[in-house]
Structure 1
């Protein structure tokens, strides 16, 4: 991963993700929820450019809502750079430039992609030469989705989602993503899930510490058949996200009527991921959603994780 430390700048591209499957356990006393999820990296990217500097700074461009992106230590990319510097005893700083394409607060892990890209970019810029295992360990300390953004592809995540195992996914899966001008807060969505479960009496007294991804999900990915995968799409957070944003259900309905095999809220939302049979159908679905006044993007997966762009 390392380049010569004398390099003036390093450009790294990292993908956003969707959750093909997301099972959420009950809330423990410490607020922790066990997760079982399948991530798939898709062709919607964040670009991070790192340049030598005496101190740490950050600029953001590209997305319509960049004003909502913090430029201090609340930003995962800034924290990633400082964590790497501390871990390697690097004495200088870095000027980070983030060019966003993944929606802010959209449930697609854009901030995590920025953090993964910042780790790779700074490691190369500074010539610190960390091993893949050490990079994964640092990524895990930054957040549950950061290790996956580092590796990409398709993977099963357990624990908090940061314990990763690669999943075999044959072929290409075409998705239409419907983004939203207004994000959803992940803590709010999880809180709503807990409330809904309490109201339904479905919250266990002693929630399990770990969950498993159902075998049919993994079999569908291995088959490479979008129709088979569509039957297994699932998100425990979807009911909570739809409670906060009832309009998202209409978006899914429009997509399915236009030809999508199935639709799902991605992660904690509000981005909707619609699985399509092939690129041609995806283009039809994208057109229909745009005609309804919504922002729709055609992407595919799986794609690699954070990579240096030469």
Structure 2
């Protein structure tokens, strides 16, 4: 476990009320990216799938202020020491935003247990923010509905609303315009993480540069292939495998060529398909069923890779404990 760090912890939290919330990481089963917009962002069309790798945030009442500790557990690709502990931390920003509209707010300490790879293209920071919103809402008795929290979440980043709702969804705009999609039959995947991260803005800049260099004109309004949603609705991994797509993958491979070797290793080990998740560098391999996923995880681990089997869709942010001091 990576040792935790803290700032501005103002009271003994051992006797205070605390609320613990989990929120999932995600992969982009399909991600199409449009050209840069006037605001600097890119329009996207994506199918988000929440997976069974959860961040955990415990919010505890304090005498005043907002503080945070970060601990690492399970699959991490960067030290927790690399995570900011000020207002640039998404979970802290989430608590600050909610406090602005919650008359009954108190001080709060956020203890984050990281399980989703850091800077790995799986929305771990967004899951922290979603968990912090739900935990603080319960702690302060703010009384916001899930939809109201999702509206607050938009100001924190495009992936935060999805971490609140989980499941499967189509994301348009910059990913913040969500439409739930039916996907009841579990899909099984094996994630391979790296011991480094990739900057999402840098991956997008690299994509733009590659398109300019290669004379590629992206669709101004990218769309989702309906066949992807049909395969996911049926839980048909064989039908879904050839449909996996990520416009950012070429840019991620440009910045981290070793990802190409990982993709090839997974395919050679029998994965139905492999894809870089979001901006990377996490790679997701699709398996046919739980036994196949377990076998694939073992084979990839024997190849010296950091492999973890997961399934999706997973539930969104959820309260798992509420203890009175």
Q: TM-score, normalised by structure 2?
A: 0.90
Match of 2:68 in 1: 58
Of 231, 236, 240, the match for 1:229? 240
CA contact (8 A) 1:7 1:125 kept: no
- 1:135 aligns to 2:138 (yes or no): no
Contact 2:184 2:313 survives alignment (8 Å)? no
In 1: Cα distance, 2:105 partner to 2:17 partner? 17
Question: SS where residue 87 of structure 2 aligns?
Answer: coil
| Of 163, 174, 177, the match for 1:163 | 177
Q: Distance in 1 between matches of 2:117 and 2:279?
A: 13
Pairing of 1:1-310 with structure 2 (within 5 A): 8-53=17-62, 54-62=64-72, 63=76, 65-203=79-217, 208=220, 210-310=221-321
C-alpha displacement of 1:133:
2.1
Secondary structure of the 2:196 match is coil
Instruction: Give the Cα separation in 1 of the matches to 2:217 and 2:79.
Output: 36
Q: Quick one: distance in 2 between partners of 1:116 and 1:29?
A: 28
Q: Contact 1:258–1:284 at 8 Å: present in 2 too? A: no
SS where residue 35 of structure 2 aligns?
strand
1:145-182: per-residue Cα shift (whole Å, max 9, x none)? 00000000000000000100001113111100000110
Question: Secondary structure of 1:142's partner?
Answer: coil
Deviations 1:124-153 (A, max 9, x none): 001111122211100111100000000000
CA distance in 2 between partners of 1:264 and 1:217 (Å): 14
Aligned residues, how many?
A: 302
C-alpha distance in 1 between matches for 2:125 and 2:85:
12
Gaps in structure 2 of 5+ consecutive residues = 1-14
CA distance in 2 between partners of 1:305 and 1:133 (Å): 13
Report the Cα distance in structure 2 between the residues aligned to 1:133 and 1:278, rounded to whole angstroms.
34
Instruction: State the shift of 1:203 in Å.
Output: 3.3
Q: Which residue number corresponds to residue 3 of structure 1?
A: none
- TM-score, with structure 1 as normaliser: 0.95
Gapped regions of structure 1 (runs ≥ 5)? 1-5
Deviations 1:5-25 (A, max 9, x none): x97000000010000000000
Q: Residue deviations 1:81-120, cap 9 Å, x none?
A: 0000002234522100000000000000000000000000
Q: RMSD of the TM alignment (CA)?
A: 1.4
Match of 2:7 in 1: none
Conservation of the 8 A alpha-carbon contact between 2:126 and 2:157: yes
| 1-structure distance, mates of 2:306, 2:147 | 38
Write the deviation string for residues 222-252 of structure 1: whole angstroms up to 9, x where unpaired. 1210011111100000000001111111111
